[in-house]
Amino acid sequence: MRREHSIEPAYFEALYKDKGDPWDFETSEYEAEKYAETLAAMPATRFDRVLEVGCANGVLTAQLGPRCETLLAVDVSETALASARARCADQPNVTIEQRRLPDEAPEGCFDLVLLSEVVYYWDSADIIRLAGYLRGAVTSGGYVMLVHWIGETDYPKSGDEAVAELHAALDDRVTVVRSDRHEAYRLDLWRLEGAG
């Protein structure tokens, strides 16, 4: 049964405390392939300022860091973040913080915001608030990349619903660069005009 409201941070903290790596980010071939596809789909080889929302235990963060001048990676679970900090300890350009978006969105502008497996955890009101944040936080001509599992969920949204709602909330600011469907997930890359 679908949850009606955005999922609370305590849900994720309990998962990481109980299972360590609840989605097998460290060992799953599916995750490794998805991360490789995510990095390959990026529209540039290097970015100035990147925000990764929902960095979890930092497996993708560690691979993304070398492609960024600065990378701010955020998550709600302190247990997951402890693993991410350890994994990225040798990358001084990577900052890892505990934040809950959209309530605790960081200040500043980014030329890429990565939303990997997170938007479907939010309800419609929070997706609209996230869109408002992105309008000001993504530099004009900057990018938003979304990667979401497309199977059935008990989250507030499915992957397809989450992407569609965020796209609608950003309306005429979005130019779709790519929208790729794989067997189990979708990857969307948008360019935002007139933002930032």
122 in a structural domain: yes
140 in a structural domain: yes
Q: How far apart (Å, rounded) are the C-alpha atoms in residues 196 and 71?
A: 17
Helices 9-19 and 78-87 sit at what angle, rounded to 10 degrees?
Answer: 60
Query: Taking the model in full, what pTM does it have?
Result: 0.95
Q: What is the DSSP letter of 173?
A: G
- Counting the structural domains of the chain, the total is 1
2 in a structural domain: no
108 in a structural domain: yes
pLDDT < 70 positions in the chain: 195-196
What is the per-residue pLDDT for 36?
96
Per residue in 112-131, pLDDT (tens digit) is: 999 999 999 999 999 999 99
What is the per-residue pLDDT for 153?
86
CATH code for position 113: 3.40.50.150
24 in a structural domain: yes
What is the per-residue pLDDT for 196?
60
Per residue in 52-63, pLDDT (tens digit) is: 999 999 999 999
Which domain, by its residues, includes 140? 9-192
What is the per-residue pLDDT for 51?
98
